[in-house]
Chains A and B, each alone.
Chain A
Amino acid sequence: MSAEAPRLGFLRTTAFRVTLLHLALTLLGTLALAAVVWWATVGYATRQAAQGIERDTAVLLQAGALSGLAGVRLSVEARLAADRSGLDHYLLAAPDGTRLAGNLASAPREPGWRSLGLERRGAEGAAPAPLMALATRLPGGAVLVVARDLSPVAQLEERLLAAAGWVGGAALLLGLLGGLVVGRGVARRAAVMGAALDRVQAGDLGRRLSVAGSDEFDRLAERINATLDRLESAMAALRQVTDDIAHDLRTPLSRLRQRLEGATRSGASAETWRAEAAVAIAECDAILDLFAALLRIAQVESGAGLRQGFGRFDLSAVAESVTEAYAPLAEERDQRLVATVPPGVAGFGDRSLVAQMLANLLENAVRHGRAGGCVALALRSGPPGGGPEVTVEDDGPGIPAAERERVFGRFVRLDAARATPGSGLGLALVRAVAGLHGASVALEDARPGLPAPGLRVVVRFPPAAPA
């Protein structure tokens, strides 16, 4: 990289472009202001002079109409005598061009507006004074010229131009300086943020942008930091899941391998082979089920394409058939399965996923509830303005308050539950399905204070969308 690169790089930055734009606007603003001032001063004075000339000409013409050429001549002389400013100029010329009265040397032959230059006496070499003149032909062929010296207006114009030049120049300079300062500041902060992000990209996921104040850059930095937080935790979760899968699948896979290896070694009969193969298939199915559950959780968590399929369904019917599905399992464990399901409670969402969520909750309750105890499922239509509510409770060991968040993770199995069968994916799916439906899941003690407090899971659905 050449040493020029950063400087040339600055020319391409947003800061530089903003500076240029700022300069152009400043210039335009200065020009507009100058034009308005010019119109209001020089323009006004010039128009005033023209009106004065017209008025004078009209009065002199009237004098001519009343008392002829002599009247005009008298009037012109009277005016010249009365003028103290030295700015009024007149000429009355006979048809042959001879001056009859006035202080102008010669007259234009044609009537109409003229701009004349007047040589100033006693100021040789200086620029002639600018005159604005109106020539009028009188009846009889004489010519009357009324003129005003515009020198004061010209001086005003000159000063205005100079002032506009100074102000414009200063504005440009200040704008350029300001733009450079602001631009460099912006560029520097962008560079600092970029450098920090480079480190994140290089693998330092814990790196965060510094937030000093509360301007838009700080707010941007905060949002980038929040995104990085989210990314970091997602990465951590992903790593956790990968580790978990690697670990949780290795166990059944190595068991499967051992079994197959053992079967190969022994000189087993066809009958034994068949039995071993059947067990191996069952173990494969268990592993595949685990995969399917993981995929389903991932799919539900991402929510991809599932909400379009949402609709109204009979939540009461779902609760009933799920309860019925778990009745045999509860019977095996001598449990009473009590369902309180009022008819006609409507749910909104994916019927099949809600069914699976309730199935997972009941399966947990039956598995972890006391053998010979009681498991209950209750459906309520919910308070006005709220959605339906499903409660599933058991009389098992429950979940200590400190663990209640953790159990929603994948493959999380509390020590107390290690002895019972299960994948540790049930509650993860429950949370994913609830999340998809905007429902909340709360865990609490079913029978607080008792040595086996049991677990009560309350799923609160949001009010169903209008049909």
Chain B
Amino acid sequence: MKILIVEDDAETAAYIARGLREAGHLADIAPDGQDGLFLGTTGRYEVMVVDRMLPKLDGLSLVRALRAAGVTTPALFLTARAGVGDRVEGLEAGGDDYLGKPFAFAELMARLNALARRPPPRAAEPTLLRVGDLEMDLIRRTVARGGRRIELQPREFRLLEYLMRRAGEVVTRTMLLEGVWDFHFDPKTSVVETHVSRLRAKIDRDFAQPLLHTVRGAGYVVRADPGPESE
């Protein structure tokens, strides 16, 4: 995919661009807010990474200007300003995700993937999620695999729903903490790992083909075919 990086620190920008290119993506770098606005309005990008503190035009104003101009390209704020209120401010300005510096590259990659594949906002909400022979009925709140009903705790249900909505995408531990537990801090416990392993026991143990995979150094992914990254 084509990614726009608006970042004034040349080293950080080059580091992100190199990582994205190694992963097979195209990356352009805008060194300040004005260039970012110019490139952003061309509409050539599927997702953009925006630093909050930029010369000429700061990141918040940049994204606000793009949204005002009708550009809906998903934007991820990448910033050293990851305070309590800053995240909300970024999302209110029209950003779609927020990642504090420093960050692990795998975290950034996973979030960019999630943003780029986000369904258009007006698409009808699915009522049934399916990955391989695993089915989740969002109305009746039931899960079945190969026609066999699987009983899940409410939290396990939310965890599986989060993963199935992003089937095929790597989801990081932090994304799960934010999306499933609503924790915007790291509780420094293995709560994610514990729930994932319980969930895996319920949906994969009795079946030949595993669906919930661990991606080393990055996170988890739900998919039917065993990908090259999975262990």
Contact = CB atoms under 8 A, between A and B. Distances in A.
A289 B186 contact: yes
Given A299-B83, A350-B84, A355-B182, A328 B190 contact: yes
Contacts of A359: 183, 185, 187
A284 to B, nearest CB: 8
Contacts of A327: 191, 194
B185 A328 contact: no
A315 to B, nearest CB: 13
B194 A328 contact: yes
B189 A325 contact: yes
Contact of B84 (A321, A332, A352): A352
Nearest to A331: B194
Nearest to B191: A325
A363 B184 contact: no
B85 A363 contact: no
Given A321-B182, A352-B184, A359-B185, A329 B190 contact: yes
Contact of B191 (A306, A328, A350): A328
Main secondary structure of the interface of A (DSSP, over half): helix
B88 A309 contact: yes
Contact of B189 (A288, A306, A326): A326
Interface residues of A, number: 31
B173 to A, nearest CB: 12
A296 B84 contact: yes
B83 A295 contact: yes
B82 interface: yes
B225 interface: no
Contacts of B100: 292
Nearest to B197: A328
Interface residues of B, number: 21
B80 to A, nearest CB: 10
Contacts of B126: none
A131 interface: no
B188 interface: yes
Main secondary structure of the interface of B (DSSP, over half): loop
Contacts of B83: 295-296, 299
Contacts of A331: 194
A329 B187 CA distance: 10
A325 B85 contact: no
B38 interface: no
B146 interface: no
A352 B183 CA distance: 7
B193 interface: yes
B102 interface: yes
B187 A324 contact: no
Interface in A274-331: 284-285, 288-289, 292, 295-296, 299-300, 304-306, 309, 321-322, 324-329, 331
B102 A288 contact: yes
Nearest to B83: A299
Interface in B52-93: 82-85, 88
Given A326-B189, A351-B182, 16 more contacts: A292-B100, A295-B83, A299-B84, A300-B84, A306-B84, A309-B88, A321-B183, A322-B187, A324-B181, A325-B181, A325-B187, A325-B189, A326-B187, A328-B189, A328-B193, A352-B183
